[in-house]
Amino acid sequence: MYSLAEENYLKAIYHLEQETKGEVSTNAIAERMATKPSSVTDMMRKLADKKLLSYKRYKGVLLTSEGRKTAANVIRKHRLWEVFLVEKLDFHWDEVHEIAEQLEHVQSEKLIAKLDQFLGNPDFDPHGDPIPDQHGNVKRTEKKLLSELDKKQRGVCVGVKESSSDFLQYLDKKKITIGTKVTVLGKEFFDGSMVIQVGRDQFFISKKIAENLYVQTN
C-alpha cells in the first residue's frame, strides 16, 4: 500500500502531533527522522497529494484521518511485534525496538489479526505503550511521570517515556519493570532528585530518571 519511507514519515508525524498538539513543522520532522528539511518538504508534497495529510507551504502539516489511521496501524504492528519478541521469543525489552522497526512494515492484515490473537490481544507493549486497535483507536490511560509525585506518594510503574537501551538496563539493575510498586520517600526541590522505595530497597534517583518513568496512582 504505502512505501516504507512513507510509513515512517507518517509514524513520526503522528507522534510529533501528539507532542506538539498542533501543526508539525518541517524541521521537527527532519530532526525526528534524522534527515534534511529539504527531503521532508518533498515528502510532505507527496503525502499531501495522497491525502494523508494537509500541507500549506511554511505552515507545517496535520494528518488527515486517513493518515492518522495509517500511522496508528503501523504503530499497532510495531507494538504487537514487540510483544511477540518479548513474550514468545524471550527477548529482553531493551533489544526489541530495532527489530520491530523492520517487522512493522510487513503487509498483511490477516497476519496482524492472527498475531494479535496468538498474543492474547494485548493492550500494551513491553514498554507500557498502548496498542491501537484495528481502527486506530488508542485507549488512553491515566498516568503521570514519577517526577510529578510528592513525598509519601505511591505509584505503580506502567511505562517508560524513553526506551533507550541504557535507560532500560538501568531499570533492570534497580529491579524496576512494568507493574513494579514505587514509593517516594524523599524529594529534593533543588534538583528534582528523589529517594524511592522499590520492594525492600531504598535508593536515590536523579530527576532525569523520574521524568522518564510513568506511574499510575489510584
The H-or-E segment that residue 214 falls in is strand 213-216
Alpha carbon dihedral 69, 3, 161, 91, in 10-degree steps, equals 110
Binding residues for DNA restricted to 58-77, rule: CB under 7 A: 58-60
Is residue 31 within 8 A of residue 13, CB to CB? The reply is no
Question: Shortest Cβ distance from residue 195 to Mn ion (Å)?
Answer: 29
- What SS3 class is residue 32? helix
According to the binding rule CB under 7 A, does residue 5 interact with DNA?
Answer: yes
> Closer CB to a copy of itself, residue 12 or residue 85?
85
Nearest residue to 51 (alpha-carbon basis) of 61, 59, 42, 40 = 61
Question: Shortest Cβ distance from residue 70 to Mn ion (Å)?
Answer: 18
> Closer CB to DNA, residue 16 or residue 196?
16
d(CA 218, CA 101): 34
Residues found near a copy of itself in the complex (CB under 8 A): 85, 88-91, 95, 98-99, 102-103, 105-108, 110-111, 114-115, 118
Q: Which of 15, 25, 54, 99 binds DNA (CB under 7 A)?
A: 25
Mark the segment that binds DNA (CB under 7 A) among 54-62, 87-95, 166-174, 209-217: 54-62
Is residue 25 within 8 A of residue 53, CB to CB? The reply is no
Pick what 27 binds: DNA, a copy of itself, Mn ion, none; C-beta below 5 to 8 Å, kind-dependent. Answer: DNA
Q: Which of 10, 26, 187, 196 binds DNA (CB under 7 A)?
A: 26
The H-or-E segment that residue 63 falls in is strand 61-63
**Alpha-carbon separation of residue 202 from 189, 196, 213 (angstroms):** 19, 6, 17
Pick what 97 binds: DNA, a copy of itself, Mn ion, none; C-beta below 5 to 8 Å, kind-dependent. Answer: Mn ion
Question: Shortest Cβ distance from residue 75 to a copy of itself (Å)?
Answer: 18
According to the binding rule CB under 7 A, does residue 46 interact with DNA?
Answer: yes
Is residue 44 within 8 A of residue 55, CB to CB? The reply is yes
Residues that bind DNA (CB under 7 A): 3-6, 25-28, 34-44, 46, 55, 57-60
